[in-house]
Chain A
Amino acid sequence: MNSKFYRRVFIGSIGGGLASATLIPVLHQDLLSTFLGIALGIAYSLAVVESRETFVDRLTSGAAIGILLWGLVSVIAMPVLSGETPHWDAEQMRAYFPALIGWVFYGASLGVLVKATDALAVFLFGVQAEPETRRPEATTHILILGGGFAGMRTAASLEEEFRADRSVAITLVSETNALLFTPMLAEVAGGSLEASHISTPLRSVLHRTVFIRGGVTEIDLDRRIVKVAGRELSYDHMVLALGAVSNYFGMPNIEKLAANFKTLLDAIRIRNHIIEMFERADREMESSARAPLLTFVVAGGGFAGVELAGAINDFAHGILADYPSLRPGELQTILVHSGNRILPELSESLARYAQQKMEARGVQFLLNKRLKDAQPGLAVLGDATIATETLVWTAGTAPHPLLKSLQLERDKRGAVVVDSTMAVPSRPGLWALGDCAALTDARTGKPCPPTAQFALREAETLARNLYATLNGQRAEHFHFDSLGALCVVGFQTACAELTLPLFRSRRVRFSGLLAWLMWRGIYLSKLPGLERKIRVLIDWTIELFFPRDIVQTIDLK
């Protein structure tokens, strides 16, 4: 409670006390009228603090408030408190008519008298200083590296936690200026969605976070300085949310020749490359020369690989009509996976269902096969080769290589080891979360999977922990029960495995059109920004009626 509060209480009690004289004829009880008048005056003074209102503003608004008070006090409260059962028929309401007039006058006089008392207080004691006019310099700097789900949500949650507290400065550094909504990335590669529609500018979603687009070149943990694009940024607390990059397991040819599938540009390149292959195949007269052009190989049978294979298959078949010299039989979409089934994140039954559906649509699966090498025009498996000009790698990820330069404990994957509050042990002020952190669930003891679902919850918890740390409170241990998983496997077909809200150990599995609708509905609701939602909805609607676009938007030479 500050002095402004007490001043308002004082003003309200004086104004209300004086105005209570008009209540006596209404309530017929001097003491009650005075007490109620003062109490209402205090409430009024606290509720209506706008000092630029004139006397006539207060006169009329006060009179209007009197009507509301008539209803609350004379019509409802007093009969109820006197033990009567309210019978509000028309006759009774008309009996309250004089009280209505009385309350209007009370309200009018309250408004004027509080304003007058306010003016007197200003005359005697001066204007009350507004705390918002004091803008302190930031004393605590929080620096977040990485603008993905984890980094963006951390910044947004910190803004909610600290609100207008200017003593805490928040800075976000990211190599891209937008948050990429990765669940929809396959649809960009498959030509269903426009690229920019699944990205939300970080400057738009964040309000007082300072945003710097640039790559981090050096991190000095001892001096607490980070170098970005020629600038040095100091920090008091740093959050590592650098995410993950593709892991090629020491296979340089694959790294050089395979397309990546992590960024928006990767998805745009894949789409344009497929169109390029079609254009070249259309020029090619020899069918043997066409085959590798129209063979698309995806390495990796997890969510990303499966969704991408399905999207590429649908896109390739969808644009075939624009290339009459090409035949459907010449198209091949092949998914190579080292395991004995795809989608290890889902149950076996759903994985088998997904495979059957995709095979029915023309996707071929090479299971228990591992991509060993790549040559120009060739994908090399352990015991076979596939002639292809299109190879996409989704078979492994690793934490951001920048972490290797830090003297921190890491797990075998290369992720930074953190405790259950996401603090890096023995490095006060250093935090990590998301794909680049090895975080263990505090309740289950299991490693937290590197998914967007977990990244968002980790970010919210981390923001609370930062707030708690800066305020000398205890940090929270992270726990989250997965809500489930959804995976699109083809046209209007998806697999869903959901956790029931009150029965965490039970899962509901279903597939088909319903799962696909659920996938679209849930991810549309999660996509940041109403404008983006509308754009994606329009894209999906256009897709229902028109064929996919075959315009090449970038030059791949």
Chain B
Amino acid sequence: MPALTTIAHRLTFGDALTGLVLGIIGGSAAGVALAVSISESSILGGVFGTVFGLFFAKRATNPGAGLIWGLSFAFLGWLMLIAKPFQSANMFHGARDRFPELVGVLVCLGSPVGIGLGLRGRRLRETRKSEFSWARALAGGGFAGTLSSLIFSQWMYEGNFFPLVAGLELGSRSATVLSHFLMALLIGATFGLLFQSDVFSYGSSMGWGLAYGVFWWFFGQITVLPMVAHRRPDWSAHRGSELFGSLVGHIIYGLILGVVYAIVDRVWVRLMIESDPLNREREGPGFRFLRSLRWGAVAGLSGGLVSSPLMLATGIFPRTAGLGSSLSTLVGFLLHLLISVFLGMSYGLLFRHEAPSAGWGALWGSSFGLIWWYLGPMTLLPLILTGECDWSTDAASKLLPSLVGHLVYGAVMALTFFLFEHHYATQILADPRTAAREMRRIRPVGTPAPALWLFALGLGVLLPILLGG
């Protein structure tokens, strides 16, 4: 025991020291970028890194986990900055004024400190090191990135808009196309390298994709690409508003990347690992497929019913699914329920085994609601109805009210789904043969899921409000 305590102390000290060093370096860089006192920013960065090293490093078991935890902690830190003075009427404008600091803490502190401690954590701590496969990560991520870019960019070409390299004026279309694909390949490959250990279900992979897409917007779009174009990065809220369309594009790309990567990874695991008779599970695919669809349908219906009184009170039903005001209230209500059922079924398939508790379920559900706000009202609905999608701040501002509705719908739906899953689990866990398999499939404590929720939900909700002003 004393030896273990000594090791733990050494690790903690090492983490704190590593965090301090990375924090000072990051703080200095942020100071330069923000044109503020470098000594002050270095000190703040050092404090950030040290606190992260002391309290968060245990969770940074690999670079991907470290990145998400770092971003989440940085975001929380920024919220503390803008919370002074609290409840001021100018808080919103104050937050906009501090937008450059948000970019700074995410890009210069959260990500490098997190990745750095994550690398250290992989070397010293990761308990599932043997499961990481470079080939699977690079091939799967690269393939997923390229395929996602192809899927994603089909309609982009017509509008001559390449969100992953927006603002980068390369002169020729072919150079832009090439840059877009290279960027997609880079994001995809790094996605696989960073998050292979943390991706469980297709749904959580979409969550990671969303978070990664937001990160790449801050890191790539707002910071690195201008530097590549020999321009000083503009971290203002105004610039952020101008690039809002690119933000939504990054999020959509991230969502597609997440689900495609999860599919590719799942196929890899199914064909290369689980098909080995030595690894064969008791049941094959489809064990709970139909059940998950049924549960999801009922869960979606419950979410739709809970949100219906509010939609009725606000008179939204005639405009359900963006269909102008052409629907009667009853038809709009029924259409709303139908969409709710469909979304519920998709949740049931995408987020199985992700919620060992009701709280986790509610958070995954809200994340799912957020995903569908970007996918549905922001992208697919206008695309289907008008052939174009409008990712401007004006369009997002008009859709802000439905954002909260999506979060609440998602939470209620996920809670209902959790009740079904939990009820069934108590039954099948009585079978020791199935119990072991179920335990392996349920997301364990110790993954960066809590950090993902804060980062993805926080910025996913905050950015449309902040940049739309």
Contact = CB atoms under 8 A, between A and B. Distances in A.
Contact of A105 (B79, B290, B451): B79
Contact of B283 (A104, A105, A204): A204
Contacts of B468: 90, 94
B83 A101 contact: yes
Interface stretch (B6-14, B101-109, B379-387, B403-411): B403-411
A85 B56 CA distance: 44
Interface string B75-111: 0100100110011100110010000000000000000
- The dominant DSSP class at the A interface is helix
B323 interface: no
A93 B403 CA distance: 10
B408 A68 contact: yes
B87 A72 contact: no
Contact of B360 (A48, A60, A90, A530): A48
A60 B91 contact: no
A88 interface: yes
Interface string A53-71: 1111111110111011001
A68 B87 contact: no
A89 interface: yes
Nearest to B448: A60
Interface stretch (A159-167, A217-225, A324-332, A486-494): A159-167
Interface in B41-99: 55-56, 58-59, 69, 72-73, 76, 79, 82-83, 86-88, 91-92, 95
**Most B-side CB within 10 Å, residue of A61, A72, A75, A105:** A61
B431 interface: yes
Contacts of A95: 92
Nearest to B363: A64
Contacts of A48: 357-360
A26 B356 CA distance: 31
B275 interface: no
A63 B86 contact: no
B77 to A, nearest CB: 11
A207 B431 contact: yes
A64 B407 CA distance: 11
A30 to B, nearest CB: 14
Contacts of B454: 60-61, 63-64
A101 B400 contact: no
Contacts of B285: 530
B407 to A, nearest CB: 5
A76 interface: yes
B86 A25 contact: yes
B469 interface: yes
B86 A207 contact: no
Nearest to B309: A80
Interface residues of B, number: 68
Interface of A: 25-26, 44, 46-50, 52-61, 63-65, 67-68, 71-72, 75-76, 80, 85-90, 93-95, 97-98, 100-102, 104-105, 108, 159-160, 163-164, 166, 204, 207-208, 529-531, 534
B430 interface: yes
Given A44-B359, A60-B76, A97-B92, A88 B401 contact: yes
A531 B287 CA distance: 9
Nearest to B447: A57
A85 B314 CA distance: 7
Interface stretch (B18-26, B157-165, B457-465): B457-465
Contacts of B87: 25-26, 98, 102
A93 B462 CA distance: 10
A67 B398 contact: no
A138 B69 CA distance: 47
A60 B404 contact: no
Nearest to B314: A86
Given A67-B457, A207-B431, A530-B285, A108 B76 contact: yes
User: Shortest 4 CB-CB distances between A and B: which pairs?
Assistant: A530-B286, A88-B401, A207-B431, A48-B359
Contacts of B322: none
A97 B56 contact: no
A61 B359 CA distance: 9
A458 B458 CA distance: 53
B430 A47 contact: no
A90 B362 contact: no
B59 A57 contact: yes
B458 A71 contact: no
Given A60-B454, A65-B363, A80-B310, 11 more contacts: A25-B86, A47-B362, A56-B59, A63-B454, A72-B408, A80-B313, A88-B314, A94-B92, A101-B83, A105-B79, A207-B433
Contacts of A98: 86-88, 91-92
A521 B95 CA distance: 59
A93 B465 contact: yes
A86 B402 CA distance: 12
B127 interface: no
Nearest to B398: A90
Contacts of A97: 91-92, 95, 465-466
A93 B359 contact: no
Contact of B56 (A50, A56, A63): A56
**Most A-side CB within 10 Å, residue of B58, B69, B88, B92:** B92
A50 B431 contact: no
Contact of B430 (A54, A86, A89, A159): A159
Contacts of A164: 426-427, 429-430
B428 interface: yes
B314 A61 contact: no
A338 B29 CA distance: 96
Contact of B404 (A49, A88, A89, A101): A88
Nearest to A64: B453
Given A48-B359, A67-B366, A98-B91, A56 B446 contact: no
Contacts of B362: 47, 65, 68
A405 B15 CA distance: 77
A52 B362 CA distance: 19
Given A26-B87, A67-B457, A531-B286, A93 B401 contact: yes
A207 B363 contact: no
Contact of B79 (A89, A94, A101): A101
A52 B445 contact: yes
B453 A207 contact: no
A104 B79 contact: yes
Contact of B465 (A94, A166, A534): A94
**Most B-side CB within 10 Å, residue of A49, A54, A90, A208:** A90
B284 interface: yes
B286 A60 contact: no
Contacts of A85: 313-314
A25 B83 CA distance: 11
Contact of B310 (A86, A100, A104): A86
B435 to A, nearest CB: 9
A64 B457 contact: yes
Contacts of A60: 69, 72-73, 76, 450-451, 453-454
Given A44-B359, A71-B407, A97-B95, A57 B86 contact: no
A163 B310 contact: no
A249 B73 CA distance: 82
A67 B458 contact: yes
Given A56-B69, A530-B285, A61 B453 contact: yes
A79 to B, nearest CB: 10
A164 B83 CA distance: 49
B213 to A, nearest CB: 18
**Most A-side CB within 10 Å, residue of B79, B356, B450:** B450
Contacts of B358: 46-48
**Most B-side CB within 10 Å, residue of A48, A97, A105:** A97
Contacts of B346: none
A94 B284 contact: no
B430 A530 contact: no
Contacts of B461: 67, 100
